[in-house]
Amino acid sequence: MKNPIRFGLLLAALFSLPAGAQTYQSDAASGLLTDRPVRILQTNSAGTDVFVFDPTTMEQVGHIPNLPHNHGATVHADGSYYYFTNEHEQTVDIVDTQTLEVVERVQLANGPHNLSASHLARKVYVAIIAEPLIQVIDMDTHEIIKNIETGGGVHNTFVTPDGRYAVGGMIGASEIIAIDTETDEVAWEMSIPYSQNPFTGGVRPIAFTTNDDGSTRSILVNVGGWHGFWEFDWETQELMNKISPPEEAWYRTDQTADGIQSAPSHGVVVLPDGSQVWHSSRATSHIYGYTVPDYEYIGRVYIGNPAWLTATPDSRYIWVGVASHNETAVVDVQAQEVVRRFPVGQAPKRIFTAIMPPEWEGEAP
């Protein structure tokens, strides 16, 4: 029998979740997300540091050194720690959010890529690219509590907006695996057949759309070789849509599509209010937007080799890692233009919105 107290806490957390929260953000929150302190974390895949921004003031408020070849980023449910994958040491590095110092390193089975957290389950899900594995870390003990075998090395993990499932995407195996975050058992697995896309380069970044009750409606996947994303039904895993910009929107004025790596689109985000989805294009140096759920094309914004995208809780701004320019760009969604550019570290790619608890006071002076 389930522990009735813990199960009750999980249910309470689940029903307090805002329907629009996305996996690039903290998934557990009570009250309005716009009332919470927020930090944008820009990792630098070829560097040794992470840059921290306050999106409300649009200022850099922190710098975290000693994180060699950092890949993914997420935050503790209580706002006390940031978690980063460290490809050089093959660890998850735990950083105090007040002092911005590394306080612990969790040794992994092999080289990691991305990671994601379920605040509902108080667990961190780590993608192991060097073996077919997802490792699960308990937030309260910082111990590895589960090793979940997969069909191939895992590039990314993402947690659904309601915190109930962790999803792993694989490049070489072209597979997706969904894991129940309460039991850490596999809920379903699916593959992207070669016959559907002969240029497939595997599963890249993922985002989700939600139903009115906050449950997951569909999964949006950047598929290798496809300029845009594919939509799959969450319950049936059936392909619903293949979305790509109109041909006239492919034109570009520069030739800065550096490091495509068989993935012309390598970043996708659904705005927290659920109204729009945007994806990056390494092929054209722009990001492209569409309405949700009908996916009508609404425009593009020049970035310069964009990588991952994240959004502010009020859905007003999208923050983008600009890999070849060593910048983070801020896009005004309504105006469809870049309003700020910040210099950051080497090859910034993954970027994350950390929504903190109401009582969190920010970095120590």
> Which structural domain range is residue 178 located in?
4-355
- pLDDT-above-90 percentage for the chain: 78
The answer as to whether 362 is a domain residue is no
The C-alpha atoms of residue 175 and residue 153 are separated, in whole angstroms, by: 10
- Residue 258 has a pLDDT of 54
Under 8 Å between Cβ of 72 and 91: no
Residue 364: inside a domain: no
CA distance readout (Å), 34 to 13, 61, 208, 236:
18, 19, 20, 33
CA–CA dist 28, 356 (Å, integer):
10
Q: Are 17 and 214 in contact (CB under 8 A)?
A: yes
For residue 361, being part of any structural domain is answered with no
Q: How many domains does the chain have?
A: 1
Closest CA to 93 of 62, 52, 60, 124: 124
The pLDDT score that the predictor gives to residue 254 is: 60
Tell me which of 17-21, 90-94, 136-140 is least confident: 17-21
- Domain presence at residue 307: yes
| pTM score of the predicted model | 0.91
Q: What is the pLDDT at residue 197?
A: 74
Residue 73 lies in a domain: yes
What per-residue confidence (pLDDT) applies to 250?
Answer: 86
What was the pLDDT predicted at 365?
A: 84
For residue 72, the domain's CATH number is: 2.130.10.10
Task: Kindly report, residue by residue over 271-329, the tens digit of the pLDDT.
Answer: 999 999 999 998 899 999 999 999 999 999 999 989 999 999 999 999 999 998 999 99
Q: For residue range 340-351, what is the model confidence (pLDDT) as tens digits? A: 999 999 999 999
In a domain, 85, yes or no: yes
Return d(Cα 40, Cα 60) in angstroms, integer: 9
Neighbouring residues of 20: CB distance < 8 A, sequence distance ≥ 6: 33, 161, 210, 271, 272, 273, 274, 315
At 19-35, the pLDDT tens digits run 333 434 444 333 345 67
Tell the burial category of 128 from Cβ atoms under 10 Å away from its Cβ (0-12, 13-18, 19+): buried
Taking 60 as the threshold, does the pLDDT of residue 8 lie above it? no
- CB of 127 closer than 8 Å to CB of 115: yes
DSSP assignment string, 301-313:
EE-SSEEEEEE-T
Strand 229-233 with 239-243, pairing:
antiparallel
Q: Is residue 296 part of a domain?
A: yes
Provide the 10 A C-beta neighbour count for residue 109.
14
Write down the pLDDT at residue 210.
95
* 365 in any annotated domain: no
Question: Over 70: is that where the pLDDT of 157 sits?
Answer: yes
